[in-house]
Amino acid sequence: MTGDVWTIAMVAVLGLAAIGIYGLLILRNLIKIVVALQVLAKGTILVMVAAGGIAGKPAIGQSLAITVIVADTVVTVMALALAIQVRRWCGTLDTRVISSLRR
């Protein structure tokens, strides 16, 4: 695998990380926030594979990428379950409305 391919992969990682961080900062809907977290995790998966390829240890990078996929899925399930409970108890998914620290 040539070095240029890994450079493109790292640029894509930066793009995914930027989109995820920007979404986490500006979004107000709890489920959309989980979507932004997923985009950030996709960047993490890609960087694990790319870093393994760059460092010459692809097997370690790929096994860590699988660990990231599993952990990220569990985090998503728990976050969505929490969002459903918030919707059930507060009646909304808007982070501006459910923030009780402002009162």
Partner 1 sequence: MVIQTLVLSATLICALQAIRAPRLLISALWLAGCSALLALAIALLGAPEVGVVELSVGAGLVTIIFVFAINVAGEETIGMTSLVPRPLAWALMCVFLFLLIWLTLPGLVSPALPQDTLPFLRALWDARSLDTVLQVALIFSGVLGSLGLLAERRETAHSPRQAGAEGASS
At residue 89, φ and ψ (nearest 5 deg) are: -90, -35
Using rule CB under 8 A, residue 44 touches partner 1 = no
- Of 70, 100, 101, 103, the one binding partner 1 (CB under 8 A) is 70
CB of 4 to partner 1, least distance (A): 6
Q: What is the footprint of partner 1 within residues 2-21 (CB under 8 A)?
A: 2, 4-5, 8-12, 14-21
CB of 102 to partner 1, least distance (A): 10
| Residue placing its CB nearer to partner 1 in the complex, 85 or 100 | 85
d(CA 33, CA 87): 14
d(CA 15, CA 46): 11
CB 3 within 8 A of CB 50: no
